[in-house]
Each structure stands twice: as C-alpha cells, then as structure tokens.
Amino acid sequence: MLFNSVGFVAFFLATAWLHFVVPRRFSWIPLLAASYFFYMSWKVEFAFLLLASTLVNYVGAMRMSALPTKAGRKKYLLICLFFNVGLLGVFKYFDFFSRSLVEMFRAGDIALDPPLLNLLLPVGISFFTFQVTSYVIDVYEDRIQAERHAGRFALFVAFWPQLLAGPINRAALLMPQLREEHAFQYRRVVDGLQRMLWGLFKKTVIADTLALHVNHIFDHAGESHGLPVVFGVLFYTIQIYCDFSGYTDVALGAAQIMGFTLTENFDRPYFSRSVREFWQRWHISLSTWFRDYVYFPLGGNRVAAWRWHCNIVITFLLSGLWHGAGWTFVIWGGLHGVLLVLENMTGGFQKKLADRLAPARDSFLNTAIQVGLTMALVSLAWVFFRANSVGQAVTVISSMVPIDAQGGLSGWNPAILGVRTFLFHLFLVLFLVGVELTGQPGTLRARVALWPLPARWSLYVAGVWAVGISTAFGVHQEFIYFQF
C-alpha cells in the first residue's frame, strides 16, 4: 500500500478515526491491527518475520530487566543481537556475500558454487531491525526500562507510519506516547495534512518527474556526454532527497494528525557546508543510530588519530552496507567516510578553499563556495548509490566530461528529452530551492497558516490538483528507500 494511492487515503482515515474514538486503555489495539494490515498489504508472509522479531526482542528485554547486573544481562543481549543481525544476514546479505565469494575465487581460477537463497527482501526489514536493536541495547545499558505491555511493544516495532522507511525512532521518544491519550485537535490535524500534502508533492511531482531524465542517463550509460549527464546526476541528487524526505513528511504528518511526534529525519541537507554537516542534516535517525551504537562503541574520537579515522571509515562502510547488499553501496559509504577523514585532516578543505577565494568569512560567496563544493562531492557519491553496478557508476562519472567516444567535444545540449521537458525539470529544482531557502518547512507552514483563507485554500487545492495529476498521468516510482 503506497502512500500515494487511493487505498492509503481510505486506510488512513479509518485508522485515525478509530484511534480517536477508542478509549485510551484500548487505543493500541486498532493501531496495532492497522499496522499489521498495512504491512501485510505488501506480502502476508512478511508479518511472521515482524512478529518473530517482536517476540524475540520483547522476551530478551524482559529477561534483561529482571537481572541487576550487565554480566547477567549480556547473554540475553547477545541472543537478541544474534537474531537481529541473523535476520538481516539471511534475507539481505547471504546471497551478496555468496556471489562476492564466487567472484573472488574466480579471479584465482578456482571454481566455487555456493548456495543462493534467492529470498525476497521483506520491505522495511532494515528499519524495524535497527529500531528493536537500539531498544534492547538501551535496556541492557539501563538507559530505559523494558516495556512490560507486550501489545504496546509490538506497536512500537510495527507502528505503520515509520514501518517501511523510518524514521528509526528510539523507545525513549515513542514508547511514552503510545501510553498517552490523543484527542482530536484541529490545529494539529491541519498542520499534519499540510505536511502530508507537501511530502506527496515532493514525491509525485518533483521526484517522480525528475526520474525521467535520471533513468534515461543511467539506463543508457555512456550514450550521452557532458551537460545531459551532469544534469542527470544533479537531478538524481534532488530526486532522492524529494523521494525520501517526501515519504518522511507523509509519515510524520500522518503521525502528527493522530497525536504522535516522530523523529525528524531531514534539515535542509543540501545547504551543508561540509560532509560532516551533511550527515547532521541527512537521514538524521540513521546517522545518530550509527553514531551511538557503532561509532561511539568503537571509541569515537577519544582514541589515537589513526584509530579515530578508522572508526569513521568503518562506520560509513557499515552504513553503506546497511543501505544495500552491493558493492556500489559499500563504495558510496566508503567515499563519505574518506571525505570525512579528509575534512578532519585538513581542518575542513571546503572552508579553507572558500576562505582563500572569498576572504570575507560568512559572506554569501564564501558560504556558496562551501555549499557548492560539498554538494558536488555528495552528488558524485550519489552516482554509486544509484548505479546498478560499479562499472555503470564509473561510466556515468566519466561521461560527465563533454568528450565523446571519438574524442570530439559534445554534450552541450542538456535537453535530451526535449527543451520543454528539461525546462520543466529545471523549474521544479529551482522551485524546491526557493522553498528550502525560506527556512524550515515547519516555519513555512506556519506562515501559510497566516494567509487569508482564499489564498490558503487556493494553495491547498493547487497542491492536491498537482499531486492528483502526477499520480494519475505521471511516472509511478516506488519510494527509493523501500528497497532497504
């Protein structure tokens, strides 16, 4: 069940209505039933994995809470971690490592034929697995108390707005909200609907439209050179942001309508002046998860410089692997790790270059140089994220140079799908930049709420119309992060 479908609208209205009318003591029941129904709409069998993950981590956390020392709790933590990592290993990584082993031995002329499971990857498995993993670790560390109510814990794991693509919520934030009563509030409902509409607009109107140019460049890698490829990479940078943040806006808006506050996942990441700052603004719930449960336990920056840099690279390699079982994702994560190490070693090469070219610090030009260089590096790394293979990524990057196979200059016309189409794509990008420049989306929604009623509703109607037209007649793309 996609967020941009008619079926979802009916599902959400029914779920929200039940949530408001059922007494607080029993309100978790319709929410849990709705969450499992939502998940089973993808594939019924997936629900058994979700239930198994819930039961193992619930029992493990309860056993840990009954023991006073970490030494006693450690056994149950390891059981939970082994199960959680094993779940990802079987469904997501087994075939990847088997194929990689074949390639490695083939390079040495050694024939190897390991088994392949060819299992369908359950949607959202990486997200809910990381959520329950953080929960059992926090219980083990005595940061939180184990949730004794099995139904509410099951809802914490399966809560449908966050289930498929996050954000990855910590129990300390979400669990108390599952015990509270949430009365209908008009202002909160309006704010949530505004956010959902903006999220759907970013997904259906901007992301899915830009996908036309992006898909052409990557599906025909090497056929175009120069500006068409440069704009293809730029458009993918915008596409993945609008796709993922669009999902997040719909999820957080839907949760807000029902009275829940979920973790914010984005803070205008493409205005970052360094890769370090980018990761403080992009997929915040995941980056803080890796910071707290991987980077800090490795020693963080409280170790020798060489170990500190190794910790950074290891963390980002694992982050890349979390995103997908493929070497393109590993390289993508590794590139970000290396860029962060370079920033640490140079004291911020973007800032130093900007200070040299535009000595007036905090000036528009100085900031623009830092933001532009950071976005260029992030965009190049996105090529590996989008590509189907390392070879395709290398081909796309090399094709950005305006030189064709015969060595002649080419690729000065970016409008490979027609001038009107290209100008419309460019307009969408500039429109998004304009909206982002106005400040935080929440601030913008607050400003819109102060508009006169006719102007406000004209904007809403225009947004609904644009989403409806794009959904009915545009290109339908599944949310990118559903594959993780």
Give every CB contact of residue 391 below 8 A, 6+ residues apart in sequence: none
DSSP 316-354: HHHHHHHH-SSHHHHHHHHHHHHHHHHHHHHT-HHHHHH
What amino acid is encoded at 230 in this protein? V
How confident is the model at residue 338, as a pLDDT?
Answer: 98
Angle at 420 between CA 418 and CA 423, to 5 degrees: 105
Give every CB contact of residue 185 below 8 A, 6+ residues apart in sequence: 259
Q: At what angle do helices 171-179 and 150-158 cross, to 10 degrees?
A: 120
How confident is the model at residue 481, as a pLDDT?
Answer: 78
pTM, two decimal places: 0.94
- Angstrom distance (rounded) from CA 449 to CA 462: 16
What amino acid is encoded at 159 in this protein? F
- Angstrom distance (rounded) from CA 307 to CA 314: 10
H-state helical runs in 66-185: 70-88, 94-107, 125-140, 150-158, 160-163, 171-179
- Angstrom distance (rounded) from CA 477 to CA 203: 9
Q: At what angle do helices 171-179 and 125-140 cross, to 10 degrees?
A: 90
What amino acid is encoded at 31 in this protein? L
Name 403's bridge partners.
409
- Angstrom distance (rounded) from CA 207 to CA 210: 5
- Angstrom distance (rounded) from CA 454 to CA 157: 42
How confident is the model at residue 164, as a pLDDT?
Answer: 92
Task: Evaluate whether 256 touches 188 at the Cβ level (below 8 Å).
Answer: yes
Give 7-46 pLDDT, tens digit per residue: 899 999 999 999 999 998 899 999 999 999 999 999 999 9
Cβ neighbour number for residue 155 with a 10 Å cutoff: 25
From the candidates 19, 213, 323, 425, give the one annotated as an active-site residue. Answer: 323
How confident is the model at residue 37, as a pLDDT?
Answer: 96
- Angstrom distance (rounded) from CA 484 to CA 333: 14
DSSP 122: P
> Nearest CA to 397 among 281, 207, 194, 232?
232
> Nearest CA to 335 among 350, 320, 322?
320
Token readout for 425 is 């794509």
Token readout for 452 is 């006169």
Task: Evaluate whether 151 touches 252 at the Cβ level (below 8 Å).
Answer: no
- Can you list the pairs that 314-317 forms with residues at least 24 positions away whose Cβ atoms lie under 8 Å? 315/290, 315/291, 316/340
Give every residue of the chain whose pLDDT is below 50, as ranges: none
> Structural domain boundaries of the chain?
6-184, 188-274+348-483
The values of phi and psi at residue 409, to 5°, are: -75, 135
- Angstrom distance (rounded) from CA 442 to CA 423: 29
Token readout for 292 is 């707290």
How confident is the model at residue 410, as a pLDDT?
Answer: 65
- C-alpha 207 chain-centroid distance: 14
CB-count burial class (<10 Å; 0-12, 13-18, 19+) for 423: exposed
Q: At what angle do helices 305-323 and 125-140 cross, to 10 degrees?
A: 140
Catalytic site residue 425? no
Task: Evaluate whether 124 touches 1 at the Cβ level (below 8 Å).
Answer: no
> Nearest CA to 246 among 213, 201, 301, 182?
201
3-state secondary structure of 409: strand
What Rg, from alpha-carbon coordinates, does the chain have? 24
H-state helical runs in 180-226: 186-200, 208-219
- Angstrom distance (rounded) from CA 470 to CA 464: 10
